[in-house]
Amino acid sequence: MDKLEKYRRILRGIINEYAGYKPRYTPFDWVPICDDENGEYVLMSIGWDAQEKHKYHSIFHFRIKNNKVYVEQDNTDADPVGQMIAAGIPKEDIVLAFHSPSQRKLTDFAIA
């Protein structure tokens, strides 16, 4: 299997797995968005709160860019990066993009 196809499969699996874990305490829908063509993988939380304010935010956002996986957003206590590594994506192909480039060089992961 091609490296990028493997990464797409892994990211789709993580997004869809967490989409199935929608917490009981939230009235929001968890919407998985997996765009293989553009390399975008997002789990969104969408709905209305008790004050009738529309809420729309990402729980996870992963991108495939420059043959690497960029973790743009992780608003959880889960460990999707650990899952990526366990599934076969090496640390040198994972960019913790939510950190600034100067902070990334202090990690064991790719800088860019």
pLDDT digit string (tens) for 61-86?
999 999 999 999 999 999 999 999 99
Q: Is 5 exposed, middle or buried (0-12, 13-18, 19+ CB in 10 A)?
A: exposed
Tens digits of residue pLDDT in 86-102: 999 999 999 999 888 88
Tens digits of residue pLDDT in 32-50: 999 999 999 999 999 988 8
Which domains are present in the chain? 3-104 (3.30.310.110)
Q: Which residues contact 92 (CB under 8 A, 6 or more apart)?
A: 109, 110
Continuous H helices in the chain: 3-19, 80-87, 101-104
Read off φ and ψ for residue 92, nearest 5 degrees.
-70, -5
Question: What is the model's pTM?
Answer: 0.90
What is the rounded CA–CA span in Å between residue 96 and residue 61? 11
What is the rounded CA–CA span in Å between residue 31 and residue 7? 20
